[in-house]
Amino acid sequence: MSDTEDLGFTPNEMMTIAASRALKNDDVCFVGIGAPSAACNVARLTHAPDITLIYESGTIGTAPDVLPLSIGDGELCETAVTTVAVPEMFRYWLQGGRISIGFLGAAQLDKFGNINTTVIGDYAHPKTRLPGGGGAPEIATSSREVYITMAQSKRGMVEKIDFFTSFGHGEGGDHRKRLGIDTAGPTLLITDLAVWKPDPVTKEFTVVSVHPGVTREQLQATCGWTVKFVEALDETPAPTELELKTLRDLQARTKAAHAGTAKGKAA
């Protein structure tokens, strides 16, 4: 836990807003559920109103009023410009090179941006069985760039992932190129403590910006590998009043909508 709550915002709010800032108005973004979805929709509601948000279920140009519970949430289809079949989504849009940013989360992540969302522990006898890859393996290799967002912990940011779900930079260096993958791969990691970018040569994630109130010691204490920092280390700008209001209003609408859905099912 950092001291950002004393500054008027939480670490998760800082993470979401920092992630949203990375998106541009002309991006075509393949959106993961959870933290990536929150970041993408804050961007859409603030500085990037023309961003095209695409979800795995086939919804294109969606503009949800509340955050979806899953890719099958009706809110996505109802607010989309159009909805296409899943094979068309993957073959024409994703594998056709039309996605500028794939925005993913991770249960486990290593320093080269490789993602595990399949299982914690041994595959045959797991401690925890996770939802799986879904479309993330294809997003990780076919999007022009990949952004990752997750809260830092030694359990989540590990030296070696337990299962290889989505390919980042593999063993580092030119591993993607040697496998014939011609997209950039993970180019940005946004956590609740910092912003990271891959080293140009080794491809190891390196801290480029520390969030307000966060120390280097906190970063190392919540990461399973030895953290590296760029020489000209920046401090992430604090959230603006507009960014915070937009995120909090979105979360409040989402909570109210989902609470109503739960009550309806219980009745």
In a domain, 4, yes or no: no
The C-alpha angle 39, 45, 48, rounded to 5 degrees, equals 80
pLDDT surpassing 70 at residue 227: yes
Q: Which residue type, as a one-letter code, is found at position 194? A: A
The conformation of residue 200, written as its DSSP 8-state character, comes to T
The count of structural domains within the chain is 1
In a domain, 171, yes or no: yes
Which residue in 56, 75, 138, 243 is the catalytic one? 56
In a domain, 81, yes or no: yes
Give the gyration radius of the chain's Cα atoms.
18
Domain that holds residue 21: 11-193+238-255
In a domain, 127, yes or no: yes
In a domain, 66, yes or no: yes
In a domain, 22, yes or no: yes
Note the pLDDT of residue 7. Answer: 67
In a domain, 222, yes or no: no
Contact indicator for 53, 102 with CB cutoff of 8 Å: no
In this prediction the pTM is 0.92
Measured CA to CA in angstroms, residue 70 lies from 37, 46, 256 at distances of: 10, 23, 17
56 is catalytic: yes
Note the pLDDT of residue 4. Answer: 52
pLDDT tens string 6-18: 669 999 999 999 9
- Residue 65 sits in a domain whose CATH number is 3.40.1080.10
In a domain, 19, yes or no: yes
Note the pLDDT of residue 202. Answer: 98
pLDDT tens string 95-137: 999 999 999 999 999 999 999 999 999 999 999 999 899 899 9
